[in-house]
Structure 1
Amino acid sequence: MEPLSAANTQFSLKLFKKISEGNTSRNVFYSPISISSALAMVSLGAKGNTAAQMFEVLSFTNPPKPDAATPSSHQQALKPQIACGVKGQHGPSMAQQTQKSELPPELKKCPAQPAPGQKTEDQIHSSFNKLMSELKKPGAPYVLSLANRLYGEQSYQFVEKFLNDAKTYYEAGLEEVDFKKKSEAARVDINKWVEKNTQGKIKDLLPQDSIDAMTRLVLVNAIYFKGNWEEKFPKDATIDEQFKLNKIQTKPVKMMNQESKFPLAFIPEMNSQVLELLYVGKNLSMLIILPNEIQDETTGLQKLEKALTYEKLMEWTRPEVMRQQEVEVSLPRFKMEETYDMKSLLISMGMEDVFDGQKVNLSGMSPNNDLVVTKVIQVVYLWSFIYLYFILFYYFK
C-alpha cells in the first residue's frame, strides 16, 4: 500500500475512534475519504500553522510506513477500495457459522497512490487527482463517482492560483453565485447539483436559511456508489428474524441470508473474525470485523475498537490469513441516514486554526486572508450496503 492509502486509512481509524467516543450504543457511518479529499482541497489555500495542523490530522505529515506493517505480498494483492467507516451492534458469532451484524466496523482502503509523506504538497494533490481518475474508470461493473464543486460569492475576490489548482487537482469548478442578495436561489442551485450527483436520490438536502448573505464560499463534496454483490443474496432467503442489539434486547428485521465461500480470518487475540464480501468485478469489497461474543449489555465492540490500528488492520487482512471458507452469512436489510458536525470532531483532533477567525491563515485562498471555515457537515445515506451516498459541505465566511 502506498503512503496516500496508508495516510487515509490511518486518518479513517483516528476519526472512527473519535466519532465512537461516548457513542457505544449507536450506529456510526461516515466517509473519511470524502473528508480527507475535501480538506486536502481546502489546504490548497492554507498557509503556516493552519496548513501544518491540517496535514498532521490527515496523517499527510507522517503516514505509517506500509513496508513495516504490510508484507509485499499483501501490498500487491490489495484491491482499489474507497475508505469508509462503519460501526454497529451485532448478533451471534460468526464462529457459529453465522454472521449477523447491524453495522460492524468496516474500513476500506483507497487505491494505492504515489507517496505524499514528507514530499511536496503538489504530490499530495496529484495523488488525490489520480485517485479520482481511478474511481471514474470507464467500463467498471459498478457506479462510483466523487465530485467536487465550489460556490463562491460573485463579488468576492479569490486567489486565482487556488481556483486553478482546485480545478486541476480536484476537478472542482467555481460557480459564481449571489450569496449577498440571492442566498435562497444559491441554496436551490446547490441542492440541484447534489441531486444530479447522487443519481437523483438526494433532493432538497440543504434546508432553508442554511445559506445566508454572509456566506462567501461553499465547498461541496459528493460520493455516490452503487454496486452488486459478487455472491448475491437470494431474494427468497430474506426472512424476518430477531436481531440481537445486546445480551437482553432484540428487534425484528428483514435478514438477507446466503451460504457460500468467502475470505475469512480468525483473530485469536481479539476473539474476533474478519469477513470480506466482494462486489461484482472483485475490485471493491467490504470488510466486516465481528467479535465472537457480546461481552456486556452494549455491543461487545469496545475492546476491538480500542485495539484497532492501521498496523493491526493490515496484519488481520493479509492474503495468507484471509482464506476461502464456507460461511453462512446473514445481513439485515435497512436504510440509514446520519448527519455529523465534523467541525467539532476535527477541532478535537487538533485541526483548530482553520476554524478560528483570529488564527486562521487561508491567504492562499483569499488575498485579504479574511475567510474562516464556519461549518463542516457530512450527510451520509446507506441502503443495504448497495447504495452509498456521502455529501460533505464546508461553509466559509
Structure 2
Amino acid sequence: MSLWRKSLIVLLAGLLTLTACSPALTPLPTEPTVNPTPKESGMDEDEVLISSRPRNTAPPSGEIALRELVNGNNAFALDLYQRLAQEPGNLFYSPYSISLALAMTYAGARGDTERQIAQTLHFNLPQEQLHPAFNMLDLNLRPLEQKPASGEEQPFQLNIANSLWGQAGFDFLPEFLDLLAENYGAGMYRVDYNDPESARQRINRWVEEQTREKIKDLIAEGVLNPLTRLVLVNAIYFKGAWVYPFDEGATREAAFTLLDGSQVTVPMMSLAKNLLYLRGPNYQVVRLPYQDSAMGMLVIIPDEGQFEEVEKAISPQLLEEIRTSYSLTALRLSMPRFKVESSFNLSQTLAEMGMPAAFEAELADFSGMTGRKDLFIADVVHKAYVDVNEKGTEAAAATAVVMELSAMPMEEVELTIDRPFLFLIEDQQSGTILFAGRIVDPR
C-alpha cells in the first residue's frame, strides 16, 4: 500500500522524538519549568511540569519578521511538496504543523545541526526573532471568539496545540523549556519510556483529543523505546464552512479523468457564484472562501496533459503571481467531493533535504535542550486528514518529533474540475499555507 494511503487525517499533529545516545538517566534535581497544555487534554494538572513563564500574548515581533517567517515557511512547504509528490496517488499534509514541531526542536539545536535545520526549513531569522515570530503568527491565525446561536456549531474552527513529553527523571534546561512555554504554549508531560506502550497511548490520546479524533495512532507501535527521552508534538484541527456552500441536491455522479486517461465516476458538486478566478497560461485557479475568517481554499487545475509541468512549477513566486492576478468572476463551478488520509515518516526526506546531522547520534547537537550533546532525532512522524464536501472542509494534522538518547464580475466562465488538481488551504491575510495537497483520484 502506498505511503500516502496508510491513513487519512484532517488535522496534522507534529511529533518529535528525541533519543539519548546512552541509556543512562540523569537525575532531575528540580522540576523543569514549562507551561501546561490545555486542560482539554484530559490529563491531571500534577502530570504537567509548570513554567514560571506564561504564554507571551504580545510577542516582540514586527511585520517584517512575520513576513520573513511566512515566506520561509511557504518555501519549505513547496520544497517538501516536490519531495512528497514523487510518490504516486493522492497527497495531503500540513507543512505548518511540520514547521511548528521542528521549530520547537530547533530551539535546542546548536552548531552544524542548527545551521542545517535553518537552511532546510528556511528559518531565515535568528533564534531570538524566530520563536516570537512563530508566536505572533499563531496568535494572528486564531479565530476571534464568537458565540454561535444556540444549538449551532461555530462555522470556522482552528485549534493549534503543542506539547512536550519528557522522560521522568531526565534533566532538561529550564531556559529551553521556558522558551517553548513562552512562545508555543507547550507544557511538558512526564512519561516513562521504559514502558513505551503506555507512553505511546498517552501521546496518541492527546493528539486525538486535540484533532477531534481525526488523527488516531499518530505514533505507531515500536517507534518509542526505553532510549526515548523527548517527544515534541504539534496538532492542528481546522473546520471551515464555505461562504457559498454547494447545493447537496445538485450533486451528481459524473466522470473524472485520471492521469493515465482512464475515467472513473465520482460525486460532482455544483456552484454558481462570483469567485476569485484566474486563467493562466496552462492552468486555471479558483479560490473558495471560508466563513468568518481570512482562510480560503486555492484550487489549481492544470490543463489537460499539463499536470506534471504545472506541479513542478509550483513555487512561492507563482503563488504570489496568482494572488495578485485573479479577479472576481461569475463562475459556474463543478468539482468532486473528496476525502484523503495520509501518513508519513519524514526522517529520511528531511535528511535528504539538507539536515542529516540531526538524525545522526554521533553528529547531532541538541545541547540547547540538556546542556549536553546526548540527543538526536529518531523519527519525525506526520499524519493528515481532509474531507471536502458541500458544506465546507474539515482537516487535521499532527507532527511528532521523537528524540532518543544517542473587481466587477466578468462574463460567466464554466469550470469543471474533472481531472487531477492541486489545492492549498491558506490564510489570505498572512499568506500562510496551512495545508497542501493534490487529488489525482477523488474516489
Same fold (TM over 0.5): yes
Are residues 1:19 and 2:80 paired?
Answer: no
Q: What is the CA distance between 1:247 and its match in structure 2? A: 5.2
Match of 2:198 in 1: 185
Indicate which of 231, 251, 254 corresponds to 2:244: 231
Q: Tell me the secondary structure at the aligned position of residue 227 of structure 1.
A: strand
Are residues 1:285 and 2:291 paired?
Answer: no
Question: How do 1:1-397 residues align onto structure 2 when only pairs under 5 Å count?
Answer: 2-21=67-86, 23=87, 25-61=88-124, 116=125, 120-139=126-145, 141-180=155-194, 182-246=195-259, 248-268=261-281, 271-293=282-304, 295=305, 300-318=306-324, 321-384=325-388, 386-397=393-404
Deviations 1:232-287 (A, max 9, x none): 0111011212211135311221221111111001212xx11111110112510111
* 1:136 aligned partner, one-letter code: R
* 1:4 aligned partner, one-letter code: L
Alpha-carbon distance between aligned partners in 2 of 1:356 and 1:387, rounded to the nearest angstrom: 37
Deviations 1:93-139 (A, max 9, x none): xxxxxxxxxxxxxxxxxxxxxxx3xxx31211001111121233332
Alpha-carbon distance between aligned partners in 2 of 1:157 and 1:6, rounded to the nearest angstrom: 35
Distance change >3 Å, CA 208–CA 17, structure 1 → 2? closer
Moved over 6 A (4+): none
Alpha-carbon distance between aligned partners in 2 of 1:28 and 1:205, rounded to the nearest angstrom: 17
Distance change >3 Å, CA 211–CA 17, structure 1 → 2? same
Deviations 1:305-344 (A, max 9, x none): 22222122211220xx211112122222222111112111
Alpha-carbon distance between aligned partners in 2 of 1:201 and 1:276, rounded to the nearest angstrom: 25
Deviations 1:121-177 (A, max 9, x none): 121100111112123333265110111111010021111111111111111111011
* 1:276 aligned partner, one-letter code: R
Q: What is the CA distance between 1:191 and its match in structure 2? A: 1.8
Does the 8 Å CA contact 1:45/1:365 hold for their aligned counterparts? yes
Q: What is the CA distance between 1:211 and its match in structure 2? A: 2.3
Alpha-carbon distance between aligned partners in 1 of 2:293 and 2:235, rounded to the nearest angstrom: 24
Match of 1:91 in 2: none
Task: Quote the sequence identity (%).
Answer: 35
* 1:37 aligned partner, one-letter code: L
* 1:344 aligned partner, one-letter code: Q
Alpha-carbon distance between aligned partners in 2 of 1:167 and 1:187, rounded to the nearest angstrom: 22
* 1:27 aligned partner, one-letter code: N
Alpha-carbon distance between aligned partners in 1 of 2:220 and 2:76, rounded to the nearest angstrom: 30
Does the 8 Å CA contact 2:162/2:185 hold for their aligned counterparts? yes
Alpha-carbon distance between aligned partners in 2 of 1:395 and 1:204, rounded to the nearest angstrom: 15
* 1:160 aligned partner, one-letter code: P
Alpha-carbon distance between aligned partners in 2 of 1:374 and 1:282, rounded to the nearest angstrom: 37
TM-score (norm 1): 0.79
Alpha-carbon distance between aligned partners in 2 of 1:205 and 1:44, rounded to the nearest angstrom: 23
Does the 8 Å CA contact 1:337/1:381 hold for their aligned counterparts? yes
Does the 8 Å CA contact 1:230/1:282 hold for their aligned counterparts? no
Does the 8 Å CA contact 1:257/1:330 hold for their aligned counterparts? yes
Match of 2:60 in 1: none
Distance change >3 Å, CA 207–CA 37, structure 1 → 2? closer
Q: What is the CA distance between 1:205 and its match in structure 2? A: 4.0
Alpha-carbon distance between aligned partners in 1 of 2:322 and 2:341, rounded to the nearest angstrom: 29
Q: What is the CA distance between 1:28 and its match in structure 2? A: 1.7
Considering Cα pairs closer than 8 Å and 6+ residues apart, tell me whether 1 or 2 has the greater RCO: 2
Task: Structure 2: state its 5+ residue gaps.
Answer: 1-65, 147-154, 405-443
Q: Tell me the secondary structure at the aligned position of residue 372 of structure 2.
A: coil
